[in-house]
């Protein structure tokens, strides 16, 4: 007897990790339009470079504390002393290049917010025409690691001064914030996020 659809979440969301499963069930693929939340997710995806999302997810609360709730105006003013404090914080990923990139990204974010009437969210969402791209994924292992949209977004982000935002990182970001629905079609979240 086949299992009911509700028991078939995307196979990448491990059943033995409650936090990861909750992330899949409640956050991943949900369209996000809040400027600050998008900034946070882009930064965390940059910190993920070379690591697993599971590692970042389990450190997310510590990242939020260490980076002042991901308030770009505060991060943009970080001093060398604050950088040293972050490098000593074992609750986060202690990478000088990623920490310094986060500070630069906060400054670039503030520039976008100042120069665009639709802000950071409007800027990012225009790469998908303002609405999520709905894919028909049957096997997550076959999903391309980047797309023409993620390449275009990454190119523009880099032009604006953002770092740790190549097209693969950007595509993971786009999936996470619901710009792309890449839940497998057998996953109940595939249909659920389309209604949001």
Give tens-digit pLDDT for 53-91.
Answer: 999 999 999 999 999 999 999 999 999 999 999 999 999
Reported residue count of the chain is: 196
The candidate with the shortest Cα–Cα distance to 112, out of 78, 64, 160, 149, is 160
Distance CA 186, CA 12 (A): 13
pTM of the predicted model over 0.75: yes
* pLDDT tens, residue by residue, 141-164: 999 999 999 999 999 999 999 999
Residue whose structure tokens are 């120069």: 115
Instruction: Tell me the domain boundaries of the chain.
Output: 17-194
Q: HEC states along 37-103?
A: HHHHHHHHHHHHCCCCHHHHHHHHHHHHHHCHHHCHHHHCCCCHHHHHHHHCCCCCCCCHHHHHHHH
Q: What are phi and psi of 180, to 5 degrees?
A: -135, 130
Question: How many Cβ atoms from other residues are within 10 Å of residue 5's Cβ?
Answer: 13
Q: Which two tokens stand for residue 190?
A: 């595939």
Write the pLDDT tens digit of every residue in 105-119: 999 999 999 999 999
Q: What phi, psi does 193 have (nearest 5°)?
A: -70, -20
Choices 3.40.1010.10, 1.10.340.30, 3.40.980.10, 3.40.718.10: CATH for 17-194 = 1.10.340.30
pLDDT computed for residue 6 by the predictor: 47
> What is the structure's pLDDT at 10?
94
Query: 189 vs 88, 118, 134, CA distance in Å?
Result: 39, 29, 12
pLDDT in tens, 82-137: 999 999 999 999 999 999 999 999 999 999 999 999 999 999 999 999 999 999 99
């Amino acid at each position: 007897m086949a299992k009911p659809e509700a028991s078939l979440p995307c196979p990448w969301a491990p059943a033995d990790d409650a936090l990861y499963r909750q992330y899949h069930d409640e956050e991943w693929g949900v369209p996000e339009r809040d400027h600050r939340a998008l900034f946070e997710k882009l930064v965390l995806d940059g910190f993920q470079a070379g690591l697993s999302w599971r590692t970042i997810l389990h450190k997310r609360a510590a990242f939020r504390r260490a980076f002042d709730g991901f308030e770009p105006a505060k991060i943009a003013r970080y001093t060398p002393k604050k950088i040293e404090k972050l490098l000593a914080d074992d609750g986060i990923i202690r990478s000088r290049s990623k920490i310094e990139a986060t500070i630069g990204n906060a400054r670039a974010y503030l520039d976008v917010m100042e120069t665009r009437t639709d802000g950071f969210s409007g800027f990012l969402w225009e790469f998908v025409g303002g609405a999520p791209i709905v894919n028909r994924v049957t096997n997550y292992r076959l999903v391309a690691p980047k797309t023409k949209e993620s390449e275009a977004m990454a190119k523009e982000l880099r032009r604006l001064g953002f770092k740790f935002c190549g097209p693969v990182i950007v595509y993971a970001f786009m999936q996470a914030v619901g710009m792309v629905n890449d839940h497998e079609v057998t996953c109940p979240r595939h249909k659920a996020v389309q209604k949001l």
